[in-house]
A and B are shown apart, each in its own frame.
Chain A
Amino acid sequence: MRNWVRGSMLRNPAVPSPRLELAGLAKSYGQRAVLRDLSFSVGVGECHALLGPNGAGKSTTIRCIQGLTRPDVGNICLDGRPLADWPAGGHARMGVVAQQDQLDPDFTVEENLWTYGRYFRLPTALIRQRSRELLAFMALEEFAQRPIQSLSGGMRRRLSVARALIHQPQLLLLDEPTTGLDPQARHLLWQRLRTLQREGVTLLLTTHYLDEAERLADRVGILQHGSILAEDAPVAMIQKHIPGEVLELRRRDGALPDAENWHQGRVAAAERSGDTLFLFDPQPERVRAHFAADPEYQLLQRPATLEDVFLRLTGRELREGEE
């Protein structure tokens, strides 16, 4: 009855099913609906990013997959089987890197891995061997005997990922994995996540860093008010929602740029946000030249990014919400 630990013998290879499938999830706390009819799926070996402003329901989604939050309605399937039918909620195939630090400060780096391996009922020799491999993989070898308190934020996060991999899960859930890390630490972590994906681990990550989603994800789902607003590959999504280049206009005196709306009819799309006017067009050169003639204007022309899609779809104004 404990043989699920050993792997994927229950999957039927004839019927390819997504690794993870969420269908019609809804969750409310009193009057506040956190998830509304949330559906998406993550294919085997895919890296899927959930993007969304604070309070969009990203963490709740991860909690539902983890079994920490029970949705009011809806189903979650892991490898084609409802989570409820998996022993221990499918945790033997799932690794979780939480948003807040959950490392055990009473233990050293390697003791954290050893203790965690015990929870999966792995034999000691295997735990020791995997711990060594994972510490090497995460560039933490020389810190094996260090107390957790002495680690930097990036090292802690890498250790959290290493710990979530101790039982070689097929699915890794990462809730805002690089929030608060410096650029070097983020790049190192991204490299490791790409390596994991090449090795066949399915990744589901939440982030509000658009560049992170663009760099890592095969597919991106934009989450707002608890449901998926748009879903696609990052490049396809940019092409679909943003026509061409982006031209940002600001005035040095802080006044409204192009108050008389000269740009209307001259660009494919435009959007105002605070002191900035965003113009979208495949060939914005003519419009650019018009404004460049006025020394009051500050101009920035750049290729469209996922950030533009995200902000166009979810709104540019600051959103204060709670997860």
Chain B
Amino acid sequence: MMRRHYALPGWGALALLRRNFLVWRKLLLPSLLGNFVDPLLYLLALGYGLGHFVGRMEGMPYITFIASGIVASSAMNTATFEGLYSAYTRMAVQNTYLAILATPLQIGDIVLGELLWCAIKGTISAVAIILVASFFGAIDWRWLPLALPVILLTGFSFGAIALAFTALSRSYDFFMYYFTLAVTPMFLFCGVFYPLKTLPLLAQEIALVLPLTHAVLLLRPLLTGQLPSNVWLHLGVLLAYALAAYLLAAYLLRRRLLR
């Protein structure tokens, strides 16, 4: 039975992706509403409210500065949520994965399909923010075609880390650890709201290990009309997270479902 367990994912991943898309389409309105209204509130409250006191940051209006940061953190949040709560529901509550494993689809298909969906959902929320922020003149569209693949990669990486957690989790409560100890610190310390160099040196170094930092360092220039520096370093870190977490998630899910 070796072959079944270790085959590479294929078209089956697209079948699962399609399934998730069809479910999402059923809840299109509330889902999109959240995608648009949330960033609007953030941009108004922080960009205008806080921005009034901050003025300019790194040579740009504060709302422009945080718009790109929120694009990155929103891709993280949305993909994380999908990889944790939604995936856990399918895995442990609805038994969707077990039903799928009775078909020619295999664990690799499930993992890849889920992560592609995490990437796409993260991108949908990021694009919603880009549209809202553009309304305030806070986005430069020049390098948008380059920003989109980075956003997809960001969603994929965070989805993969989340899915690995899900495969270990015994209940929804477990996810609070991940949010409190990983997602929230990244949201606050990875350069979304202020430049990294504001932090003490040690904190900067820690931040450089975290994936969100690299997503922000790529997306902020790309969304404000500049080309980022150290592109390969940042892409490399995101890709390394994506690949390592993908393999880990596949291993853990296989261990959990194929006993």
Show the binding face of A for B, using Cβ within 8 Å. Answer: 29, 63, 66-70, 83-85, 87-89, 91-92, 94-96, 98, 100-107, 111, 115-116, 118-121, 164, 167
Known: A104-B94, A106-B26, A115-B22. A164 touches B1 (CB 8 A): no
Q: Are B95 and A102 in contact (CB under 8 A)?
A: yes
Residues of B within 8 A of A63 (CB): 259
Known: A67-B1, A84-B2. A102 touches B98 (CB 8 A): yes
Residues of A within 8 A of B4 (CB): 67, 83-84, 88-89
Residue B106 lies at the interface, judged by CB distance under 8 Å to chain A? yes
* Separation of A118 and B21 alpha carbons in the complex (Å): 14
The A contact surface, by secondary structure, is mixed
Residue B11 lies at the interface, judged by CB distance under 8 Å to chain A? yes
Residue B103 lies at the interface, judged by CB distance under 8 Å to chain A? yes
Residues of B within 8 A of A96 (CB): 102
Of A68, A87, A106, the residue contacting B104 (CB under 8 A) is: A87
B4 to chain A: closest residue by CB: A89
Residues of B within 8 A of A167 (CB): 103
* Separation of A107 and B26 alpha carbons in the complex (Å): 9
Which residues 220-259 of B sit at the A interface, judged by CB distance below 8 A? 257-259
* Separation of A15 and B98 alpha carbons in the complex (Å): 34
* Separation of A294 and B96 alpha carbons in the complex (Å): 59
The B contact surface, by secondary structure, is helix
Q: In the complex, what's the smallest C-beta–C-beta distance from B47 to chain A, in angstroms?
A: 36
Residues of B within 8 A of A29 (CB): 259
Q: In the complex, what's the smallest C-beta–C-beta distance from B68 to chain A, in angstroms?
A: 34
Q: In the complex, what's the smallest C-beta–C-beta distance from B36 to chain A, in angstroms?
A: 23
Chain B interface residue number, banded: 20 to 34
B99 to chain A: closest residue by CB: A102
Of A66, A70, A94, A104, the residue contacting B96 (CB under 8 A) is: A104
Q: Which of A29, A89, A92, A96 has the most CB of B within 10 A?
A: A89
* Separation of A102 and B94 alpha carbons in the complex (Å): 6
* Separation of A107 and B21 alpha carbons in the complex (Å): 12
Residues of A within 8 A of B142 (CB): none
Residue B170 lies at the interface, judged by CB distance under 8 Å to chain A? no
Interface Cβ pair total, 8 Å cutoff:
86
Of A69, A95, A98, A106, the residue contacting B95 (CB under 8 A) is: A98
* Separation of A84 and B23 alpha carbons in the complex (Å): 33
Which residues 82-100 of B sit at the A interface, judged by CB distance below 8 A? 94-96, 98-100
B97 to chain A: closest residue by CB: A102
Residue B190 lies at the interface, judged by CB distance under 8 Å to chain A? no
Of B18, B22, B95, B102, the residue contacting A66 (CB under 8 A) is: B102
26 A–B contacts from the bound complex (CB under 8 Å): A66-B101, A68-B101, A70-B5, A83-B4, A84-B3, A85-B3, A87-B104, A88-B7, A88-B103, A88-B104, A89-B4, A91-B103, A92-B104, A94-B102, A98-B99, A98-B102, A102-B94, A102-B95, A106-B23, A107-B23, A111-B22, A116-B103, A119-B100, A119-B104, A121-B11, A121-B15
Known: A69-B259, A101-B95, A106-B26. A118 touches B19 (CB 8 A): yes
* Separation of A83 and B3 alpha carbons in the complex (Å): 10
* Separation of A120 and B157 alpha carbons in the complex (Å): 29
Q: Are B95 and A68 in contact (CB under 8 A)?
A: no
Residues of B within 8 A of A120 (CB): 103-104
Residues of A within 8 A of B133 (CB): none
Residue B159 lies at the interface, judged by CB distance under 8 Å to chain A? no
Q: Are B106 and A68 in contact (CB under 8 A)?
A: no
* Separation of A96 and B102 alpha carbons in the complex (Å): 6
Which residues 1-53 of B sit at the A interface, judged by CB distance below 8 A? 1-5, 7, 11-12, 15, 18-19, 22-23, 26
Which residues 48-68 of B sit at the A interface, judged by CB distance below 8 A? none
Residues of A within 8 A of B95 (CB): 98, 100-102
Residue B118 lies at the interface, judged by CB distance under 8 Å to chain A? no
Given A88-B105, A98-B99, A118-B19: 20 more A-B contacts, CB < 8 Å: A68-B257, A69-B259, A70-B258, A83-B1, A84-B3, A84-B4, A87-B104, A88-B103, A88-B106, A91-B102, A98-B98, A102-B99, A104-B96, A104-B99, A105-B94, A106-B23, A107-B23, A116-B99, A119-B12, A119-B105
* Separation of A121 and B103 alpha carbons in the complex (Å): 10
